[in-house]
Amino acid sequence: MKIKSFLFSLFMLVAGIANAQNWGGGIDDTDLHFGFTFQYISSEYKLLKKTDWKESPGGIADLPDYVPRGLSAIAAKPTPGFGIGFVVNQKVLENVDLRLTPILVFNDRVLNYRFENIPVSPGQEFLEVEKKVQSTLVEFPLGLKIKSNRRNNFRAYMIGGLKYSMDISSRKKSDNTKVDNPMEMFLNNKRNYLSYEAGLGMDLYFEYFKMSPELKLSYSFDSVMKREMPHVFSNPIDKLMLRHVTFSLFFE
């Protein structure tokens, strides 16, 4: 009885492995298919300063006495965000796909400023000010996915392409023309910009669907900072590039 049970289990295992070749719901047999995605995003500014950036407040005249001088540092730090979207995948060749993945992204970015010469209470040697840029984006990444041959229920791939981003958040809460205090000025970004991106991922086939974890890096072509009236926080900056590191889970 034990031998029969063992042989039956072995037969079922072999049959399962053989049938596993068809897992994925036949997703690879269609020229056009759809899916959805969840993303975790870490974004960070790459800062390019003006040559005279330390001359705070950057040559801006007629500032009140309470505005700190002596800008000594500007630093960017990675900030988290998340996105949700869907996938449109068109097969071009057996191992090449064209992918459009419209995504709604919620993401903040942060710059920290350090002032050494401050007109505040005695004993305070410096002042640190954090400027947060809040954004809600609709992004349209268009990429070319180059896949390896499928091995059982696994295949690896590379992806690269372009991404168009559009900020749909309200500008009423960040209108500098309505701000009287120079220390409360906003560091605004452009509403539209382009990025290039590249990444690696893998397709994992389950019985009725395919899941694809993916890691991707994107980098803006040009500065994303909106040039408005000069103020303490924008004047020292020459360019403000944006980079994203994105971990995605695709379900197709």
**Tens of pLDDT, residues 126-157:** 778 888 888 899 999 999 999 999 888 899 99
Checking if the pLDDT of 68 tops 70, the result is no
Per-residue confidence (pLDDT) for residue 13, from 0 to 100? 41
Exposure string for 167-187, b = 16+ CB within 10 A, e = fewer:
beeeeeebebeeeeebbebbb
Checking if the pLDDT of 191 tops 70, the result is yes
Give the pair of three-digit tokens for residue 226.
């909106």
Is the pLDDT higher at 173 or at 21? 173
Checking if the pLDDT of 160 tops 90, the result is yes
pLDDT class of 84 with cuts at 50, 70, 90: very high
- Give the angle 167-195-132 at the CA atoms, nearest 5°: 45
pLDDT class of 222 with cuts at 50, 70, 90: very high
Per-residue confidence (pLDDT) for residue 186, from 0 to 100? 81
Per-residue confidence (pLDDT) for residue 158, from 0 to 100? 97
Helix (H), strand (E), coil (C) string for the chain: CHHHHHHHHHHHHHHHHHHHHHCCCCHHHCCEEEEEEEEEEEEEEEEEECCCCCCCCCCCCCCCCCCCEEEEEEEEECEEEEEEEEEEEEEEECCEEEEECCEEEEEEEEEEEEEEECCCCCCCCCEEEEEEEEEEEEEEEEEEEEECCCECCEEEEEEEEEEEEEECCCCHHHCHHHCCCHHHCCCCECCEEEEEEEEEEEEEECCCCEEEEEEEEEEECCCCECCCCCCCCCCCEEEEEEEEEEEEEEEC
Calculate mean pLDDT across residues 195-200: 96
- CATH architecture classification, 23-251: Beta Barrel (2.40)
Checking if the pLDDT of 123 tops 70, the result is no
Domain chopping of the chain, boundaries: 23-251
Calculate mean pLDDT across residues 83-87: 95
pLDDT class of 232 with cuts at 50, 70, 90: confident
Checking if the pLDDT of 215 tops 90, the result is yes
Neighbour tally for 228: CB within 10 Å: 14
Checking if the pLDDT of 17 tops 70, the result is no
